[in-house]
Amino acid sequence: MMNSACLLSSAYWAPVQYYAKLYAYPEVWMEAHEHYVKQTWRNRCLIAAPGGTQALTVPVVKPAADKCPMKDIRISDHGNWRHLHWNALEAAYGNSPFFEFYADDFRPFYTQKWDFLFDFNEAIRRKVCELLDLQTEVHPTVAYGLTDVPADDFRNAISPKVPFEADADFVSRPYYQVFREKHGFLPGLSVADLLFNMGPEALLVLRDSVR
């Protein structure tokens, strides 16, 4: 039996599996104090580009210490990544049913500078939840793993290194994708893919993704 709360790691344009937890749980604790780990969803997402699955990675400043809390990880300005990410989103979803509808909501994330990755991720997450009317209460942790209530822990379970099929409480429901005829349905992508393709009906997909 699941708890009424869960614990998640911060994520950049988190995958659909992650948002299924935000749908399923009335309360979520966002881990701010875990040590930053490379090659996770913390600074990486997957979208469906014209050529297939494409990864977008936010560059970060190498921490001075080996073990740095997630909340203290700074975003790097290296490589003009904001421009590249927005262009990639436009190329991937410019012809999707809802990209134009939501573009003004997300363009500012790529024209304004954010200092900390945790704050940047949370701002995108809040905007997605607002647009989908996800009413989940989300709190940052005040210490590693610390929550005020018993919480199911998905910090390591939702990861590029863990197949989403391993999550017994999640099922990947196919939905419309712009390049589906070319590539077939691509599962395991960012919520950006779901939002730009399905709009408000993305909430129904999340509902049906919860076992």
pLDDT in tens, 108-143: 999 999 999 999 999 999 999 999 999 999 999 999
Question: Given pLDDT bands bounded at 50, 70 and 90, which one contains residue 103?
Answer: very high
Residue 72 DSSP class: G
pTM: 0.96
| Cα atoms in the Cβ-side hemisphere of radius 13 Å centred on 185 | 9
pLDDT grade for 204, boundaries at 50, 70 and 90: very high
| Six-digit token string for 176 | 């419309």
**End-to-end alpha carbon distance in the chain:** 12
Residues 191 and 16: beta-carbon distance below 8 Å: yes
How do the domains of the chain map onto residue ranges? 5-209
Tens-digit pLDDT profile for residues 181-200:
999 999 999 999 999 999 99
Contacts of 180 (CB under 8 A, 6+ apart): 186
Mean pLDDT value across residues 6-29: 98
For range 70-97, the mean pLDDT: 96
Beta-sheet pairing, 5-9 with 151-153: parallel
SS3 132: helix
Query: What's the pLDDT tens digit per position in 157-177?
Result: 999 999 999 999 999 999 999
